[in-house]
Amino acid sequence: MHETTILLIEVGALLFALGMLGRLGRRFGLSPIPLYLLAGLAFGHGGFVPLSASEEFIEIGASIGVILLLVMLGLEYSAGELVGNLRAAAPAGLLDAVFNALPGAAFALLMGWDWQAALVLAGITWVSSSGVIAKVLGDLGRLGNRETPVILSVLVIEDLAMAFYLPLVTAVLAGVGLIGGLKSLGVAVVTVIAVLVVAIRYGRQISALISAKDAEALLLGVFGLTLFVAGVAEELNVSAAVGAFLVGIAISGPVAHHATQMLSPLRDLFAAVFFVFFGLSTDPADMPPVLLPALGLAVVTMLTKVATGYFAAKRVGIAVPGRLRAGLALMPRGEFSIVIAGLAVASGVEPGLAPLATAYVLITVVTGPLLARLPDYDWFKAFIRRWKPPLRPPVQPLAAED
């Protein structure tokens, strides 16, 4: 058969299977994300039915999926809200880095790896998956919750930090020296600042260029602008996810409202492809030897993520259930962790790092969406009510003596 014909058959069969898995998951009240990941494992290298002709197509679709997830998140908030939330979440962002990067670095040193591997594993355990978390928040109907801006602020701080971390770690792994690393870092800093300024100062003018009345022009304009900015950001060693998020922030008013409606089906399609690709890139045979170490690391750093979200939500006055929802939502690691591990593998730092990182990410990305549902169960709500300390009655002032 012609290669294009095989591609159509593979993609069509895969999408139909994903549709059935998504329906099955929702029937049992589960997020479809773990099912999509398991489907990727089944069809990937070492799986039951490897996909050959469509692998490159799925890889491109996965990149588009992350971009659409982040631009849709950005459309939910204005530039002013972003700046305010970033300022409020700055202490939580610092705590996030300490709580979640240090365990990865310490684990690498305990394994007997060098400082370069420790730097890489610190990044892998630090940054949460914006794509997975965006999908989970949408699936659980929590985009309008009080804790969601806190979650997004932590994610944006992480993604902005990755814009600086990735060029630096790339330079370290390549051995280009201090000057080369500082040059890459300088380009990243200038790019992020420029995109932020454009998004905050000229967002209204950007929105005015796109008509909210013409559905076709709206879809093509917003989608094309998002891909363009994400691609430019990636070319300048800044995360494409950061670029897409800032495009969403820059678009406001009726254009943002209609763009959300128009892009939602595309987001759902390509987000599913993203999670499948994540599984496709993993060989199940590499998992067993590193499963226990990865599980131990995952348990520790998932707990530290819960602590991060709890602290961040507490600082802005959110009640205990919202704090726990924030912490549990932040647990999955994903696209950035795999990118960081890929850089390490390409440089030949530590051969055991790739399977460990893959197993670690899979554990967090499968269990994270499942655990994020805990606050919605009645038994969990009852447990929180019993656990939460009762409010003390106000102290009555002593009556004045006659």
**Is the pLDDT score of 54 beyond 70?**
yes
- In this structure, what token pair is assigned to residue 231? 């691609």
Helix boundaries (H) for 281-334: 291-315, 320-329
Name which residue leads in pLDDT, 322 or 394: 322
Contact 239, 188 (CB under 8 A): no
pLDDT for 47 equals 63
User: Do residues 354 and 341 touch, judged by C-beta distance below 8 A?
Assistant: yes
Mean per-residue pLDDT, 120-146 = 87
Distances 282 to 50, 76, 274 between C-alpha atoms, Å? 12, 33, 13
Output the pLDDT for position 89. Answer: 72
Helices (H) then strands (E): counts for the chain: 17, 0
> 139-148, 273-282, 322-331 — which one is most confidently predicted on average?
322-331
Rounded to an integer, what distance in angstroms lies between the CA atom of residue 89 and that of residue 75?
20
Q: Residue 391 above 50 pLDDT?
A: no
Residue 150 or 55, more confident: 150
If you average pLDDT over each of 100-109, 177-186, 246-255, 279-288, which comes out highest?
100-109
Torsional class of 397: left (φ above 0), alpha (ψ -120 to 50), beta (otherwise): beta
pTM of the model: 0.71
Residue 177 gets the label, from left (phi > 0), alpha (psi -120 to 50) or beta, of left
pLDDT in tens, 194-240: 767 777 777 777 777 777 778 888 889 889 989 998 888 777 766 67
C-alpha–C-alpha distance, residues 45 and 49, integer Å: 9
Cβ–Cβ < 8 Å for 178, 357: no
- The band of 73, judged by pLDDT with boundaries at 50, 70 and 90, is confident
Taken in order of first residue, the domains within the chain and their CATH numbers are 3-375 (1.20.1530.20)
Q: What is the secondary structure of 321-360 as a DSSP string?
A: HHHHHHHHHT----HHHHHHHHHHHHHTS-TTHHHHHHHH
CA distances from 58 to 83, 272, 287, 360 (A): 35, 10, 23, 23
Residue 394 above 50 pLDDT? no
More confident residue, 16 or 271: 16
Lowest mean pLDDT among 69-78, 140-149, 275-284, 387-396: 387-396
Higher pLDDT, 282 or 91: 91
Per-residue pLDDT tens digits for 150-202: 898 888 888 777 767 777 777 777 766 556 667 766 776 777 677 677 777 77
How many residues does this entry show for the chain?
A: 402
The predicted structure's pLDDT at residue 299: 96
Instruction: Work out the average pLDDT over 391-402.
Output: 45
Contacts by residues 187-194 (CB-CB < 8 Å, ≥ 24 positions apart): 187/236, 187/237, 188/163, 188/164, 188/236, 188/237, 188/238, 189/164, 191/163, 191/233, 191/236, 191/237, 191/238, 192/160, 192/163, 192/164, 192/238, 192/242
What percentage of the chain's residues is helix, strand, coil (to nearest 5)?
A: 80, 0, 20
Q: Which of 3-17, 318-332, 353-367 has the highest mean pLDDT?
A: 318-332
Report the pLDDT value the prediction gives residue 328, as an integer from 0 to 100.
94
CB 359 within 8 A of CB 287: yes
Query: What is the tens place of the pLDDT at every residue in 297-348?
Result: 999 999 999 999 999 899 888 988 899 999 999 999 877 787 777 677 667 7
Q: Work out the pLDDT band at 400, boundaries 50, 70, 90.
A: very low
Mean pLDDT of the chain: 80
Best mean pLDDT range from 262-266, 306-310, 389-393: 306-310
230, with CB counted inside 10 A (0-12, 13-18, 19+), is buried
Per-residue pLDDT at 326: 93
* Residue (of 77, 66, 69) closest to 199 by Cα position: 77
pLDDT over 70 (residue 257): yes
Q: What is the mean pLDDT of residues 336-362?
A: 78
